[in-house]
Amino acid sequence: MSNDQYPQQNLDPRQVSGEDRTAAVFSHLAAPIAAIISVGWLNWVGPLIMWLIYKDRSPFVRTAAAQSFNYQITMWITSIIGWILIITVVLFPIGIVLVLLGNVLALVLGIWGAIRTAGGNQYRYPWNIPFLR
């Protein structure tokens, strides 16, 4: 994805307000928190709610929430594919790897995204399907 889709990535971190940083951090942390509470099935809900609230109020938060949502949905789909492979029995080992990767990466990179965003920088997840912008 090009930077013109996320123009606020080039902002000086000092230009991002404290309120926007807090909301952006929560956009990233909502996913790991929901994943723990819902055993990984609702990790995309928090970022979606943040995107809906901030999509017209703050480009910084909108981008953080969209990145988080897109990544969490991608990992959610990965986990579902993994569960389908587990059920087939023959592809059980591949399914286990996909489920573990989907859940562990969603948790770890969600926390890493929150840490990066707390400094006023946008965090771009390494793999995601762009559903929201």
Query: Per mean pLDDT, which of 5-9, 16-20, 82-86 is the most reliable?
Result: 82-86
Q: Which of 25, 52, 4 is nearest to 119 (CA)?
A: 25
Total domain count, the chain: 1
CB 70 within 8 A of CB 125: yes
Judge whether 90 lies within some domain. no
Residue 41 lies in a domain: yes
Report the pLDDT value the prediction gives residue 104, as an integer from 0 to 100. 87
Cβ neighbours of residue 129 under 8 Å, at least 6 residues apart? Answer: 70, 73, 74, 77
Domain region containing 59: 17-76+106-118
| pLDDT digits 0-9 by tens, 27-82 | 999 888 887 888 767 888 889 999 999 999 989 999 999 999 999 999 889 989 99
* Residue 1 falls inside a structural domain: no
Is this model's pTM higher than 0.85 or not?
no
- 32 domain residue, yes or no: yes
What is the per-residue pLDDT for 12? Answer: 62
The answer to whether position 123 is within a domain reads: no
69-124 residue pLDDT tens: 999 999 889 989 999 999 998 899 999 999 998 888 888 999 999 999 998 888 99
